[in-house]
Amino acid sequence: MADFSGSDNIKIEGEAKLVIRKEIGSKCTEDIADVRLLKNWKLKSKFRFTLKNPPVEKQRKYLGGKLAEHNLRIEAARKVFGQFSFSMMSIEQCFRKLRDLNAQNFVDLDFEPGESSVFDQTVDNPLDVVVHWRRPLEFLTVNFQEGLLEPNVFYETIEPNDVRPGVLGDEWFLSSAALLAERPALIERLFITKEINSTGIYKLRLCKNGEWVTVTVDDFFPCYPDGEPVFAKCHGNELWVLLLEKAYAKLHGNYYLLRGGFAHEALLDLTGCPCVSYDIGDEYVQHFVENGQFWELLRYFDDEGYLLSLSTNGEGRWIDNTLPAESEDPADLPRGHAFSVVMVKEAGGN
For 57-86, write each residue's pLDDT tens digit: 888 898 989 999 999 999 999 999 999 999
Q: Residue 329 — pLDDT band, cuts 50, 70, 90?
A: low
Name the packing angle between helices 293-303 and 283-290 (round to 10°): 90
Q: Please check whether residue 136 lies inside any domain of the structure.
A: yes
* Nearest residue to 315 (alpha-carbon basis) of 176, 183, 179: 176
> What is the C-alpha separation between 199 and 197, in angstroms, rounded?
6
Q: Please check whether residue 350 lies inside any domain of the structure.
A: no
Q: Please check whether residue 347 lies inside any domain of the structure.
A: no
Q: Residue 314 — pLDDT band, cuts 50, 70, 90?
A: low
Q: Please check whether residue 180 lies inside any domain of the structure.
A: yes
Q: Please check whether residue 43 lies inside any domain of the structure.
A: yes
- Amino acid identity of residue 330, one-letter, is P
Q: Supply the Cα-derived Rg of the chain in whole angstroms.
A: 25
> What is the C-alpha separation between 87 and 338, in angstroms, rounded?
32
Task: Answer whether 225's CB lies under 8 Å from 59's CB.
Answer: yes
Residues 306 and 263 in one domain: no
- Amino acid identity of residue 13, one-letter, is E
Q: Residue 323 — pLDDT band, cuts 50, 70, 90?
A: very low
Strand partners of residue 42: 8
Residues 266 and 249 in one domain: yes
Instruction: State the chain's mean pLDDT as an integer.
Output: 88
Residue count of the chain, please give it. Answer: 350
**Of 321 and 189, which is predicted with more confidence?**
189
Residues 36 and 178 in one domain: no
pLDDT digits (tens, 9 = 90+) for 200-242: 999 999 999 999 999 999 999 999 999 999 999 998 899 999 9
Contacts of 349 (CB under 8 A, 6+ apart): none
Percent of the chain clearing pLDDT 70 (strictly above) = 93
Q: Please check whether residue 348 lies inside any domain of the structure.
A: no
Name the packing angle between helices 263-271 and 171-180 (round to 10°): 50
Q: Please check whether residue 197 lies inside any domain of the structure.
A: yes
CA distances, 67 to each of 56, 61, 111 (Å): 13, 10, 18
Residues 291 and 263 in one domain: no
Q: Residue 32 — pLDDT band, cuts 50, 70, 90?
A: confident
Task: Answer whether 158's CB lies under 8 Å from 240's CB.
Answer: yes
Q: Which uninterrupted H or E stretch holds 340?
A: strand 338-341
Q: Please check whether residue 184 lies inside any domain of the structure.
A: yes
Residue where a domain stops, chosen among 255, 270, 285: 270
Number of domains in the chain: 3
Residues 258 and 293 in one domain: no
pTM: 0.83
Residue where a domain stops, chosen among 240, 270, 300: 270
Residues 315 and 250 in one domain: no
* Nearest residue to 260 (alpha-carbon basis) of 343, 183, 320, 198: 320
Q: Residue 281 — pLDDT band, cuts 50, 70, 90?
A: confident
CA distances, 156 to each of 164, 205, 239 (Å): 18, 21, 13
Contacts of 88 (CB under 8 A, 6+ apart): none
Strand partners of residue 52: none
pLDDT digits (tens, 9 = 90+) for 85-143: 999 999 999 999 999 999 989 999 999 999 999 998 887 778 889 999 999 999 999 88
Residues 286 and 255 in one domain: no
Q: Residue 145 — pLDDT band, cuts 50, 70, 90?
A: confident
Residues 184 and 295 in one domain: no
* The predicted structure's pLDDT at residue 324: 46
* The predicted structure's pLDDT at residue 322: 44
Contacts of 292 (CB under 8 A, 6+ apart): none
Residues 234 and 315 in one domain: no
* Nearest residue to 236 (alpha-carbon basis) of 337, 333, 152: 152
Range of the domain at 309: 273-341
Residues 156 and 225 in one domain: yes
- Give CA angle at 339 (333, 340), nearest 5°: 145
Residues 120 and 189 in one domain: yes
* The predicted structure's pLDDT at residue 151: 93
> What is the C-alpha separation between 222 and 255, in angstroms, rounded?
10
> What is the C-alpha separation between 157 and 30, in angstroms, rounded?
43
Residues 18 and 33 in one domain: yes
Residue where a domain stops, chosen among 242, 270, 298: 270
